[in-house]
Amino acid sequence: MKKILRISKCAGINGLKKLFQVGILLFYGTTVIYAQNSVFRAGASTANISPSLGEGIAGGWMPLPLATHIHDELHARSLVLDDGKVRLVIMVVDNVELPREVFDAAKLLIAKETSIPKDRVMMSSTHTHSTPFAGHEINPPEPSLSIRNHTTGTYPKPLDDYQRFVARRMADGVRVALNNLEPARIGWGSGTVPQHVFNRRWKLKSPINNPFGVSEKVQMNPGIANPNLLEPAGPTDPEVSFISVQSLNGKPIAVLANYSLHYVGGVPKGHISADYFALFADRIQELLKADRQDAPFVGIMSNGTEGDTNNIDFRGPVVPYPPYAKMRIVANDVAQEVFRIYQTIEYKNWVPLGASQTELTLDVRRPDAQALGWAEKAMQKAKPDHSMERVFAERTIQMKEWPEKIDVILQTFRVGDLGIAGIPFEVFAETGLEIKSKSPLEKSFTIGLANGGYGYLPTPEQHQMGGYETWMSVNKVEKEASRKIVSEILKLFNRVKP
């Protein structure tokens, strides 16, 4: 209040009246002044990124199957929010795991063509397993890491044709969303859809050996009704969070949702599909009766902290589904829950926006002499001891070329009292739940595979138990990485909180 009194002595009574006309917001002792005529605006768009037939389809083991059919088109879906001072972009791309260099290329175009700073653009992959591989090379040897020159910010190899196409369309999508900006109101909420999320990592009654010949207590996807199952190795996050933006007269502009489910699948060989993420977008549009609008309504489903979560109940029984049937069930149930909460949320005509970003340096897991010795012997065996032994021996040898350290982008957005975190990994559910519980903002959620993709992010405790997600080359960074990332995300949230 003393600040206001000092201003009034300088400006006089008329000046004081003018200050109250433009509006004064006091946040924890800090005076923030926004013009009364600041208008909250929002715009959304979709940009088609479907490939040509014949591209390799990611999501499985090498060699990649080739695309022979497009069941449903792939898109980059964009939402732009503007509070009159800060402009934020949230984009979700139908791909299994876009690497940082593709996101960087798109952000460079966006910054050049729209003047939106790169740290105010949050991009992520959905992790559908039925899209072209858009890694650093066409049909690369798995696994790989993007090796970025820290001085120049460039990469040693140029993007391939499909990567350039996707980056260009992503930038186009933001420009179209900006063209669609209109005065808007915004609200958010969350519901729960527990029936489709199961921890896919199971503790075992009797340990088993992994491809490296090491005994482990945990197995990923252990098979339905396996008699060796003890209990799930971790929790799930059944919450579906969402943001809704409408025009001032109530016309739906976009719904951005977030649900922590790996993917659903059930896609025939050779099919391109955006999985349940796109089916959710279609179903929520139908429920909102938002078809045939000008500008078109955009539904968006982002993936959350899904690194150890899928939709298979391994306790059984086995339930067969025809192609695409199960993903429709999941999409419908999640959309119905969003629609239920949607009808109860309170909209605001204006909220403040904020963004904070950092780059965290992490150690890369590389094989030591003992691991390389095992790999060389395994490659020479006539008959491997494990079905995946040769695959991981080959990967271990490839890892000699990996860098010792990598820089990963961590990012937070603030939308009123809502926080959004972006992490470039397949994050475990328990890490996402920890961020939600410790966030200084009223509500928060995390978007996974954001601004890059560096594999799985187990906690140190999960590393001790073992399992696929903890194996070298599948997990690519130091075992303490999840703790460091949570600490940094909470610091970023504290920077943007009111």
Question: Does residue 12 sit within a domain?
Answer: yes
Provide, rounded to the nearest whole percent, the portion of the chain with pLDDT above 70: 87
Phi, psi of 473 (to 5 degrees): 90, -30
Please, what is the angle between helix 161-179 and helix 100-114, to 10°?
40
Residue with more model confidence, 201 or 157:
201
The whole-number pLDDT of residue 56 equals 87
* Token pair belonging to 449: 């595979």
Query: Total structural domains in the chain?
Result: 3
Q: How many CA atoms lie within 13 A of 232 on its CB side?
A: 16
Q: Judge whether 425 and 457 are in contact, CB under 8 Å.
A: yes
Mean pLDDT computed over 299-324 = 96
Residue 296 belongs to some domain of the structure? yes
- pLDDT tens digits, residue range 16-44? 334 433 443 433 333 344 444 689 999 99
Confidence of residue 135 (pLDDT cuts 50, 70, 90): low
| CA distance linking residue 63 with residue 376, whole number of Å | 22
Q: Give the confidence band of 64 by pLDDT, cuts at 50, 70, 90.
A: confident
Q: For residues 27 and 163, state if they share a domain.
A: no
125 & 242 share domain: yes
Please report which confidence band the pLDDT of residue 142 belongs to, taking 50, 70 and 90 as the band edges: very low
Spatial CA neighbour of 298 closest among 316, 275, 280: 280
Residues 247 and 384 reside in one and the same domain: no
Q: Assess whether 127 and 239 both reside in one domain.
A: yes
Q: How many of the other CB atoms lie within 10 Å of CB of 87? A: 20
The CA-atom distances, in angstroms, between 251 and each of 280, 387, 497 are 19, 55, 29
Q: Cα separations (Å) of 257 from 5, 65, 208, 248, 270?
A: 44, 31, 38, 21, 28
At 25 the pLDDT is: 40
pLDDT surpassing 70 at residue 139? no
Indicate the range of 15-24, 200-209, 448-457 predicted with least confidence: 15-24
Residues 6+ apart with CB under 8 A from 347: 185, 186, 187, 244, 246
Same domain, 57 and 173: yes
Q: What's residue 132's pLDDT?
A: 87
pLDDT of residue 62: 62
46 and 9 together in one domain: no
Could you give the CA distance from residue 98 to residue 96 in angstroms, rounded to a whole number?
A: 7
Residues pairing with 162 in the sheet: none
**Average confidence (pLDDT) over 283-297:** 96
In a domain, 238, yes or no: yes
Whether the predicted pLDDT of 149 surpasses 70: no
The answer on 160 and 75 residing in a single domain is yes
Across residues 317-322, what is the average pLDDT? 92
User: Does a structural domain hold residue 477?
Assistant: no
Element (H, E) at 310: strand 309-310
CA gap 171, 348 in Å, rounded:
29
Residues 251 and 331 reside in one and the same domain: yes
pLDDT in tens, 402-424: 889 999 999 999 999 999 999 99
The average pLDDT across 53-73 equals 85
CA–CA gap between residue 90 and residue 107 (Å, rounded)? 12
pLDDT, mean of residues 351-368: 96
Backbone angles phi, psi at 216, to 5 degrees: -130, 150
Within this chain, do residues 60 and 185 fall inside the same structural domain, yes or no?
yes
321 and 397 in a single domain? The answer is: no
Q: Are residues 375 and 284 in the same domain?
A: no
Question: Does 179 fall in a domain?
Answer: yes
- Check pLDDT > 70 for residue 153: no
Peptide bond preceding 317: is omega within 30 degrees of 0, i.e. cis?
Answer: yes
Structure confidence by residue, pLDDT tens digits, 218-249: 999 999 999 999 999 999 999 999 999 999 99
Average model confidence (pLDDT) across the chain: 89
Query: Measured on CA atoms in the order 248, 250, 252, 254, is the torsion positive or negative?
Result: positive
**For range 265-274, the mean pLDDT:** 95
Q: Which domain holds residue 11?
A: 2-33
